[in-house]
Structure 1
């Protein structure tokens, strides 16, 4: 099994606004690093236009509500990217570019090797976690770390 993750966020401003320029200008750099990491499997992507990441694929009718959906071979691979690369510096600065959401915005779950989840499937997993709490079907960092000891 591989590990899928969805992270959603609402940008403070439209993607072409100077307030989110530094974030947008670094999407290709950070995403490119992720794709080169050991254990990376797949990423949901937009058109491939430079500097857009997956921001063209917003959630619902809100163009500022964006998501990141990836698949990794295992938890250590995802953790290495999230916490041991330049990604950490951008994650630590998320309040400069993203609104604080009032509910859970990150979820992980296991998928069969070779499977690429859709945005709608991933959002359903997030809703499951929000409604029922962590389980084998949908979980966050604390839950999976407690299972992997």
Structure 2
């Protein structure tokens, strides 16, 4: 995993599908999953992600656990991810453009409406690897107490110095262009997939 800068941005997200992962209702999500992981791997500023137990090739960053919002859902597991990024602009460029933007556009078909934050962000020392438990605790903290240096979102970001952060929108556009150059065939593929 590359080490650039003294702090890296950790991201954890969590949602619930409308039906079981294997169901026809969630097929569009399943069909896009590998392309999204590959798009992230090619994205500017991406340092790595946790794998899942039983998934070949990508190490799992600790035992995968889930926030309390899974309770009463009937599910034992739920869609979630844990990753590391150079900065918030790199993560936003990936999230809101290209392959991942296509998945976001159709997410309402596969996921229930959330009463909790869809993701949480926090800073870690360069070289540190967050654990699933860290993401769960910070997502619940963001839900319970709102954004702050410990747990924040794109809407209320904080810098690694603990101060509110001004997002560099022009840098996001530059990164989107860099990513587009490496994701063309992936995007063309996902645009042909069933919703």
TM-score by length of 2: 0.67
| Structure 2 equivalent of residue 115 of structure 1 | 128
Superposition misfits of 4+ residues, deviation over 4 angstroms: none
Contact 1:106/1:126 (8 A) holds in 2: yes
TM-score by length of 1: 0.87
CA RMSD, 1 decimal: 2.1
- Residues 20-59 of structure 1 correspond to what in structure 2 (within 5 A)? 20-46=26-52, 47-48=54-55, 57=64, 59=66
Query: Is 1:13 aligned with 2:31?
Result: no
Could you tell me how far apart the structure 2 residues matched to 1:104 and 1:80 are?
19
Q: For structure 1, which runs of at least 5 residues remain unmatched after alignment?
A: 50-56
| Structure 2 equivalent of residue 71 of structure 1 | 84
Q: Which has the larger radius of gyration?
A: 2
For 1:45, what is the secondary structure of its paired residue? coil
> Residue 85 of structure 1: CA displacement?
1.4
| Structure 1 equivalent of residue 116 of structure 2 | 103
Which one has the bigger strand percentage?
Answer: 1
Could you tell me how far apart the structure 2 residues matched to 1:104 and 1:22 are?
23
**Alignment deviations for residues 36-83 of structure 1 (CA, whole Å, 9 cap, x no partner):** 11110111111336xxxxxxx563682352211111011111111111
| Structure 2 equivalent of residue 81 of structure 1 | 94
Could you tell me how far apart the structure 2 residues matched to 1:14 and 1:92 are?
20
| Structure 2 equivalent of residue 53 of structure 1 | none
Contact 2:65/2:136 (8 A) holds in 1: no
Alignment coverage as a number of residue pairs = 143
Q: For structure 2, which runs of at least 5 residues remain unmatched after alignment?
A: 1-6, 57-63, 159-163, 168-195
Could you tell me how far apart the structure 1 residues matched to 2:20 and 2:99 are?
24
**Alignment deviations for residues 1-24 of structure 1 (CA, whole Å, 9 cap, x no partner):** 110111101011111111111111
Could you tell me how far apart the structure 1 residues matched to 2:22 and 2:49 are?
23
Contact 2:65/2:133 (8 A) holds in 1: no
For 1:23, what is the secondary structure of its paired residue? helix
